[in-house]
Chain A
């Protein structure tokens, strides 16, 4: 069953059109990579899917039900959480408070407690720093907080926008392996948006976005072939 289905999505800012008919799918429990260079429209795609931006045309379906033009709040309740570009720290709030905000849509206190235990078990450093302001964390720690905070909503799908941005190669690898671990152990589907071709290591399926259009897609073993091609093409510079 397809979890998220995006069809012919057109979107942009005011009269500036950025997406020209983007289509992609994420299945239950899958990791899907959306690759593209600077300004390709990756973030715009995520913003339109979550309802931060209004689609000019096209549709978004979740579990086969239309959610085009929804609000981010409603999408979170439906099990889709976005980890924004730049990690979206609530800087003046503590680590623990950031996590609590992540659970805002969950009404079941027991469930929140269980999620919190799980997040602290996965990211022990967050437990250690729980009373510290999020703005004082290092880039890598912030990325962990961003992922952990998204998990607090017990999502079925996470949309992760350039987790590698501003991280060292070592921390990038760390972040990717954490995303893989979250997918494996919790069964959370992930749409991972990246310039870094290493993200393709995790992907069951991948799309390449160029100037607001999907210009290539691959599945299974073909993802490795795509990785080789992208590595030598313009994206290779990002590695």
Chain B
């Protein structure tokens, strides 16, 4: 039971980062981004490839792959905002949604072209060690993931509540037009949100690949679907909701997935999404505007 719980929590950590990326973008721009999975995956491919093949004659250690994933993910986020999303500001939500899907597909197909369909090995930077606690085996990787996700969520929370630009971000989330009228440079907030979302995406890619041991094209987009489920359950414009929803989804994955089977757990999750959409469309912690 304990090991299923920890495995679930480890997945929840990765999902929560993707869900935070989704919520960060959604709450500023009302755009549901389907690209925030593949953006990080693309970065991680580059990181793992340079670990395998060396870069400028040096072979970066495997933990550097995660940093590269975050870096490239962040830059990709900025590029996508500037080149694709900015011109679509003010257009119907469906246009932007389709655009983010196109970005995800483009990146996944590029990964396929560059690295092939075979799973790309993603060794854990903290090794394959494990510890016994109360008869349950917990891997060092899982526990590192939990710690990292907690640090990331805490960092994001501190940024949003303790810094001036964080306040500007929340003001933009609450009402972009009013924020502009008060002097908040909302375009800079949008760029920044996409950048941070890309960073989170890279971190999530690294975490998930370490859990499964490998990376394939579309694997992060499929994880994004679980994260989206978490975000919808938690409330699409609530960062706290993203974490809570992802925890729920991760735990169901871990417990039902290992006790019964993965298909059942996916079924349970998406029935939960439907129930939320019908009964409380704004999600557990979302604001009323989500449902509007």
Is A82 within 8 A of B181, CB to CB? yes
Contacts of A212 in B (CB 8 A): none
Contacts of A173 in B (CB 8 A): none
Residues of B173-209 contacting chain A, CB below 8 A: 173-175, 177-186
Is B178 within 8 A of A88, CB to CB? yes
Q: With A100-B167, A101-B184, A104-B164 as given contacts, are A84 and B174 in contact (CB-CB < 8 Å)? A: no
Is A84 within 8 A of B181, CB to CB? yes
Contacts of A50 in B (CB 8 A): 181
Residues of A141-156 contacting chain B, CB below 8 A: 149-150, 153
Q: With A101-B168, A101-B171, A104-B164 as given contacts, are A90 and B183 in contact (CB-CB < 8 Å)? A: no
- Number of cross-chain contacts by CB at 8 Å: 73
| B170 located at the interface, meaning its Cβ lies under 8 Å from any Cβ of chain A in the complex | yes
Residues of A75-118 contacting chain B, CB below 8 A: 76-77, 81-82, 84, 88-93, 97, 100-102, 104-105
Contacts of A153 in B (CB 8 A): 182-183
Is B181 within 8 A of A52, CB to CB? yes
| B287 located at the interface, meaning its Cβ lies under 8 Å from any Cβ of chain A in the complex | yes
Contacts of A104 in B (CB 8 A): 164, 167-168, 171, 182-184
For B164, the closest partner residue in chain A by CB is A104
Is B178 within 8 A of A90, CB to CB? yes
Contacts of A77 in B (CB 8 A): 183
For B173, the closest partner residue in chain A by CB is A92
B241 to chain A, nearest CB (A): 12
Distance between Cα atoms of A204 and B30 in the complex (Å): 43
Distance between Cα atoms of A56 and B259 in the complex (Å): 66
Find A90's partner among B164, B171, B185, B186 (CB 8 Å cutoff): B171
Q: With A84-B177, A84-B178, A92-B173 as given contacts, are A73 and B185 in contact (CB-CB < 8 Å)? A: yes
Is A76 within 8 A of B181, CB to CB? yes
Contacts of A84 in B (CB 8 A): 177-178, 181
Interface range, B side? 10 to 19
| A132 located at the interface, meaning its Cβ lies under 8 Å from any Cβ of chain B in the complex | no
- The majority secondary structure among interface residues of chain B is helix
| A58 located at the interface, meaning its Cβ lies under 8 Å from any Cβ of chain B in the complex | no
Find B182's partner among A52, A71, A76, A91 (CB 8 Å cutoff): A76
For A102, the closest partner residue in chain B by CB is B182
B36 to chain A, nearest CB (A): 23
Contacts of B167 in A (CB 8 A): 93, 97, 100-101, 104
B160 to chain A, nearest CB (A): 11
For A100, the closest partner residue in chain B by CB is B167
| A72 located at the interface, meaning its Cβ lies under 8 Å from any Cβ of chain B in the complex | yes
B170 to chain A, nearest CB (A): 6
B107 to chain A, nearest CB (A): 32
A232 to chain B, nearest CB (A): 35
Distance between Cα atoms of A84 and B182 in the complex (Å): 10
B185 to chain A, nearest CB (A): 5
For B184, the closest partner residue in chain A by CB is A104
A91 to chain B, nearest CB (A): 6
Contacts of B183 in A (CB 8 A): 72-73, 76-77, 81, 102, 104-105, 153
Q: Can you list 18 A-B contacts (CB < 8 A)?
A: A72-B183, A73-B180, A73-B184, A76-B182, A88-B175, A88-B178, A90-B170, A90-B179, A92-B170, A92-B173, A93-B167, A93-B171, A93-B174, A101-B168, A101-B179, A102-B183, A104-B164, A104-B182
6 shortest interchain CB distances as A-B pairs: A76-B183, A105-B183, A88-B178, A90-B174, A101-B171, A72-B180
